[in-house]
Amino acid sequence: MKQVLAVLLACLSVSTVSYAGQANTSDRYRSVFQVADTSHASGALEILPEVTGESTHSNCSASSTVTDTNNEIPAKSLSLLSPVGTTEWISGRTNIIRWTSANVDSIRLEFSCDGGVNWQVIKDSYTTLNDSYVWSVSLLSSPNCFIRITDTTDASVSDINDVCFKVHQPVVTVTSPNGGESWLAGTTQTITWTSDWVDTVKIEYSVDNGATWHLIDISQYSTNSYFWVLPDNPSTTCLVRITETGFSYVHDQSNAVFTIEKASGPPSIHVLSPNGGENLPAKGAQYIRWTSTNVETVKLEYSTNNGYSWNTIQAGISPATGTYRWLIPDYLSTKYLVKITDTSDSSVTDQSDATFNVLYDVMSTLWVKVYRPNGGDVFEAGTQQELIWFYTNKNDFVVEYSIDNGTNWIFITSTDTYEVAKVAHGEEIFVARISWTVPNTPSTQCLIRLKGTTDNTIIDQSDSPFTLIKSGQSMVEPAPAPDEFLSVSVHPNPFNPQTTLSYELSQPAEVTISIYNALGQQVRRYAAGMLKQGTHETVFDAADLTSGVYLYRIEAGYSVVTGKMLYMK
C-alpha cells in the first residue's frame, strides 16, 4: 500500500505524505513515510519508513495530510472532547457528544457498550457545523462504553474517547408495603424503597389492584422513605407505586396487594397541605391533601383573610382519596387558609395550621440557571473566560469553582452584575456575566456553582464537569455570548394538557428545549437536532405533571430564549 501511494504521489510531484489510520478500537498503528522528489535529478525514488504502534485507547484522533509542490490540500482532523473517561451518563436521558474538527464536513457517530467489541450507529451522517450532538442513550447499564466519530468520506480520520465511560440505568424498587401488610386507616406508616440514579419521585396508591391510582406526593426527593398517613379508604387490594418524576418508564410497585382497614372511633379530619408558609401561583393549581376517619362526605373551603370569611371550593365530595386538585383564584393575598368540614357534622373540621401566600410569580423567586461553563467546556490557564448564568430575580451571588467534581470549592467572587436578556410574558429574564482569569489548576472534573450571599443556599451549578488545561494546550474556542431567536411563541397559554412552542431560527442551528417546574427542576428535555432556518414547532405534553407555572429554555447553537407557561387543569 505504501509503495503504491508513494509512486502515485511521486508522479504528481509530491514531496511529503503523512498517513494516519486506525485499525480497530484496541490497536492502532500509524505509518509515516516521506517521498523524496528526485524527478529533476536522477529519477530515483527513495522511501524513508517510520512505523510506530500503540495498544491502548490513548488519544485516538486521526488526521491525514497531503502536500503538493503547487497546491496544499488542507489536513483533516477529528478530536472527541466528550464524553471522557470520567463521564457518567444516565440511560434514557439526553447527553451531549462534543468534538472539534478541521476540514471535515460530516461524521458518523457510533456507540459501544461492550468495550468496543460491537458498535451501534447513532447517526450515519451528521454535519460538524456545531461540533456537538444531543443523544439519548437507550436503557442499559455498562461501565465499558465508548463513542466513536468518523469522517463519512475518509474512515482513516476518526477518534474515540481515551478510556471507557459509564452509563447507569435509573432504578427504583418498592420495599414496603410489598404485599400482605394490614394497616389501619388514619395511622402513619412508612413507605420505603431503594433507588439508584433517581433524584425525585412521585408516590401513588391504588385500592383496586392498580386499575386506578391516587396521588400521595409528587416531586418528593428520593430519600428512600416517606411517612404516609393512611386515608380512610378501606380495601384488601391496595398497592403503592413509586415513579421517577418526569420519567414514567422508571417505576416500581408493591409485589402483591396489602390491606387498609377501616378505623374505629369518632369521625376526624386533618389538613395536610397547604398547611402554612407555602408560596402558590395565582390561577395555578394545587393539591389539597388531608386524612380522615369515619367521614362520608366533606366540604372544602378557602379564606383570603385569615379565616374572617370563607369561600366554597367543592361540597359533598368523598374524602376517601385524601386529595383534591384546586384551581387557585386570581386573587393575591398573604393570608390564605384552607378548611375541610364533615358535611353531616360541622363540628368535625380542620384548617391550615398557618396562612400561606398566593402570588402572581412564584417562579421569579426560584429560577437560576448556570449557562457557561455547564459541562464539556475547555478553558486554558491564564486566559480570560466569561462565566454566564440566567435568573429571574435580581440578586447577589457567591461564585465558586471546584476541580474535584464538587468535593471542595474555591471562592471566585461575589457579584450583582446583571443585564436584561429577555422580557418573556411580561417578566424580565436577567443574564449575569463575569470575567474569570482561569487558574493554573488542570483538571477534567471542574464545576461552577452559585450560592446566595445571605443564606449560602446552593442555587445551581454546572450540569456536568468541564476541563481546565495548562497554558499552551489545544483547546476549544470560547463560545460567544448567548443571543436570541428572531421570535418565540407558546400557544395556547394557559394550556391543558398540551401546548406548542413555536420558534423561528435566523440561521441553521442545533436546537434543544428544556422545561423546568416552579422548583427549578428539569421535567422535560427535547433534542430537536439540527434544524434549518425558518419556523419550527415542539409540543409539550404535561398530562403527568401538576398544574402550575413552567419555564421553557430554548437553545439554538449559542442562542437562548427563556419564557413561562401556565398549565391549568
At 209 the pLDDT is 95
Residue 477 and residue 100: Cα distance in Å, rounded?
10
- Mean model confidence pLDDT for the chain: 75
Confidence of residue 271 (pLDDT cuts 50, 70, 90): very high
> In this model, does residue 39 exceed pLDDT 50?
no
Confidence of residue 410 (pLDDT cuts 50, 70, 90): confident
Q: Collect all residues with Cβ–Cβ distance below 8 Å to 429 and sequence separation of at least 6.
A: 390, 391, 392, 420, 421, 422, 423, 562, 563
Lowest mean pLDDT among 428-437, 516-525, 535-544: 428-437
Task: Say if CB 111 and CB 123 are below 8 A apart.
Answer: no
* Amino acid identity for residue 330 in this structure: D
- Span 363-469: which CATH code? 2.60.40.10
Residue 118 and residue 136: Cα distance in Å, rounded?
18
Side-chain half-sphere exposure of 50, counting CA atoms within 13 A: 8
Task: Say if CB 294 and CB 233 are below 8 A apart.
Answer: no
More confident residue, 399 or 303: 303
User: DSSP 3-state assignment of 11?
Assistant: helix
Instruction: Tell me the average pLDDT across 435-442.
Output: 84
Report residue 179: phi and psi, to 5°: 120, 125
Cα Dmax for the chain = 116
Residue 136 and residue 91: Cα distance in Å, rounded?
7
Report residue 228: phi and psi, to 5°: -115, 120
The total of other beta-carbon atoms located within 10 Å of residue 185's CB is: 22
Q: Collect all residues with Cβ–Cβ distance below 8 Å to 530 and sequence separation of at least 6.
A: 126, 127, 129, 130, 508, 509, 510, 511
Q: What percent of the chain has pLDDT over 90?
A: 23
Confidence of residue 453 (pLDDT cuts 50, 70, 90): low
Per CATH, domain 171-261 is 3.20.20.80: no
Give the highest mean pLDDT range of 42-56, 129-143, 204-218. 204-218
Could you give the residue range(s) of every CATH 2.60.40.1930 domain in the chain?
Answer: 487-567
More confident residue, 449 or 210: 210
**Residue 274 bridge partners (DSSP):** none
User: DSSP 3-state assignment of 404?
Assistant: coil
Q: Collect all residues with Cβ–Cβ distance below 8 Å to 324 and sequence separation of at least 6.
A: 287, 288, 300, 313, 314, 317
Task: Say if CB 190 and CB 228 are below 8 A apart.
Answer: yes
Residue 473 and residue 440: Cα distance in Å, rounded?
12
Give the highest mean pLDDT range of 335-349, 392-406, 545-559. 335-349
* Three-state DSSP string of 531-562: ECCEEEEEEEECCCCCCEEEEEEEEECCEEEE
Closest CA to 465 of 79, 164, 57, 82: 82
CATH of 487-567, one of 2.60.40.1930, 3.40.50.1970, 1.10.357.10, 2.60.120.560: 2.60.40.1930
Residue 465 CB-density burial (10 A; 0-12 exposed, 13-18 middle, 19+ buried): buried
- Span 268-359: which CATH code? 2.60.40.10
Closest CA to 449 of 373, 395, 554: 373
Give the highest mean pLDDT range of 168-177, 244-253, 508-517, 544-553. 168-177
Report angle CA 28, 34, 38 to the nearest 5 degrees.
160
Lowest mean pLDDT among 129-138, 194-203, 328-337: 129-138
CA-to-CA separations, 79 to 132, 212, 346, in angstroms, rounded: 12, 52, 73
More confident residue, 367 or 518: 518
Q: Collect all residues with Cβ–Cβ distance below 8 Å to 155 and sequence separation of at least 6.
A: none
pTM above 0.85, yes or no: no
Residue 474 and residue 484: Cα distance in Å, rounded?
30
CA-to-CA separations, 310 to 306, 330, 380, 545, in angstroms, rounded: 9, 16, 63, 29
Q: Collect all residues with Cβ–Cβ distance below 8 Å to 157 and sequence separation of at least 6.
A: 62, 63, 64, 76, 77, 78, 104, 150, 151
Confidence of residue 408 (pLDDT cuts 50, 70, 90): confident
Closest CA to 450 of 392, 400, 393, 387: 400
> In this model, does residue 396 exceed pLDDT 80?
no
Confidence of residue 182 (pLDDT cuts 50, 70, 90): very high
pLDDT in tens, 330-342: 788 889 999 999 9
> In this model, does residue 350 exceed pLDDT 70?
yes
Closest CA to 441 of 385, 387, 383, 381: 381
Handedness of CA 513, 517, 519, 525 (dihedral sign): negative
Under DSSP, the state recorded for 304 is S
Could you give the residue range(s) of every CATH 2.60.40.10 domain in the chain?
Answer: 171-261, 268-359, 363-469
String of DSSP letters for 485-544: -SEEEEESSSBSSEEEEEEEESS-EEEEEEEE-TTS-EEEEEEEEEE-SEEEEEEEE-TT
